[in-house]
Structure 1
């Protein structure tokens, strides 16, 4: 199944060639009438709705959306220590995973490694394959931004002390076991669930 999942605050827009199983919970949009900028402008940013756009070519629709936005590429990691705990950061009053923007000419994987090490003061031991990619839309000034983030599986040696990068607004960095994630997941972003699912944490 070819699909994209784009998050806009607490709303989700699915671009798919096959209706998801929970399609009764989704509001289906008319492909012929769909215009992303109109959809975005009229969207209640405080709502928590799920929309689906059924199309034979989700990639083509995604490319059209991308043309209407300023694209920012980012990369980050799901980092595991020797005690099978995972690295989370606290920034902008929410729990998150370390990530950051890809610099010009930089490879996504290299950016993921650099950003995790900078944001948390750790040395990454291994970086594996890409777990998944996530998409979310937000505004900077009067520009609509589409952020595409590649996420990678990473490990560190032992259980290193973490040093949160305060100048990046990170107030905490901490290790959590799988059984300690529930309170974090009550105060995180929807796309983090995709990364954790790709990492088989649930």
Structure 2
């Protein structure tokens, strides 16, 4: 199942509708024509009372491909970084929200390379180590007249060094600090739903 965030609302793409459907779903759509899918998404976006919607098809990879076709697709990578004791994790404030380091993939760059580069650039720390991949998050937004679907591939990392992190100001990052693991729940109130998904995967909340 794929979870696509429309700000704080969610569209689920699934091939197991009987298992994944929640009690509070607002709308459900069986994948058909492109026009029907466009209409379903437009209706979901305009009806803000609906917090969740489900789209299903027997092949979820084909479903994601068809869904992607309605958007301009951007690929990015990012990291969740522990300190060497795994008692704190690195957080930043960007455009008034708490966030994790991430950025667009460059030409001929792997997701792993991009994640390591973005962490180093945005946080001012060198040689973080990847522990494991955390999978992707997906969110949509509007950029002028284009609808964007952004996929971020995330990696859990550890930083063994002692350098103090410094924010990359040109990326609108105003503050970086090490957040105690036991304060992860406070982070939820000031960040994006897709970031909460990553915090849950690493056990920070």
Q: Following the alignment from structure 1 to structure 2, what is the Cα–Cα distance between the partners of residues 46 and 94?
A: 22
User: 3-state SS of the aligned residue for 2:128?
Assistant: strand
Partner of 1:37: 38
Partner of 1:195: 198
Kindly indicate whether the alpha-carbon contact (under 8 Å) linking 2:31 and 2:63 is maintained by their aligned counterparts in 1: no
TM-score, length-scaled by structure 2? 0.89
Partner of 2:81: 79
Shift of residue 36, structure 1, vs aligned partner: 4.0
Q: Following the alignment from structure 2 to structure 1, what is the Cα–Cα distance between the partners of residues 142 and 199?
A: 25
Whether 2:121 is the aligned partner of 1:123: answer: no
Number of matched residues?
A: 200
Q: Following the alignment from structure 2 to structure 1, what is the Cα–Cα distance between the partners of residues 171 and 48?
A: 26
Whether 2:143 is the aligned partner of 1:143: answer: no
Q: Following the alignment from structure 2 to structure 1, what is the Cα–Cα distance between the partners of residues 196 and 133?
A: 16
Structure 1 residues 171 and 198: CA distance shift in structure 2, 3 A: same
Structure 1 residues 45 and 28: CA distance shift in structure 2, 3 A: closer
Kindly indicate whether the alpha-carbon contact (under 8 Å) linking 1:86 and 1:175 is maintained by their aligned counterparts in 2: yes
Structure 1 residues 125 and 16: CA distance shift in structure 2, 3 A: same
Q: Following the alignment from structure 1 to structure 2, what is the Cα–Cα distance between the partners of residues 21 and 68?
A: 24
TM-score, length-scaled by structure 1? 0.90
Q: Following the alignment from structure 1 to structure 2, what is the Cα–Cα distance between the partners of residues 159 and 46?
A: 46
Structure 1 residues 67 and 80: CA distance shift in structure 2, 3 A: same
Q: Following the alignment from structure 1 to structure 2, what is the Cα–Cα distance between the partners of residues 134 and 123?
A: 25
Partner of 2:10: 12
Kindly indicate whether the alpha-carbon contact (under 8 Å) linking 2:165 and 2:176 is maintained by their aligned counterparts in 1: yes
Q: Following the alignment from structure 1 to structure 2, what is the Cα–Cα distance between the partners of residues 121 and 48?
A: 41
Structure 1 residues 176 and 159: CA distance shift in structure 2, 3 A: farther
Task: Note the residue ranges of structure 2 that are not aligned, 5 or more in a row.
Answer: none
Q: Following the alignment from structure 2 to structure 1, what is the Cα–Cα distance between the partners of residues 96 and 90?
A: 17
User: 3-state SS of the aligned residue for 1:195?
Assistant: helix
Q: Following the alignment from structure 1 to structure 2, what is the Cα–Cα distance between the partners of residues 105 and 33?
A: 35
Shift of residue 51, structure 1, vs aligned partner: 1.1
Whether 2:26 is the aligned partner of 1:24: answer: no
Structure 1 residues 52 and 171: CA distance shift in structure 2, 3 A: same
Shift of residue 11, structure 1, vs aligned partner: 0.9
Cα-Cα RMSD:
2.0
Shift of residue 187, structure 1, vs aligned partner: 1.2
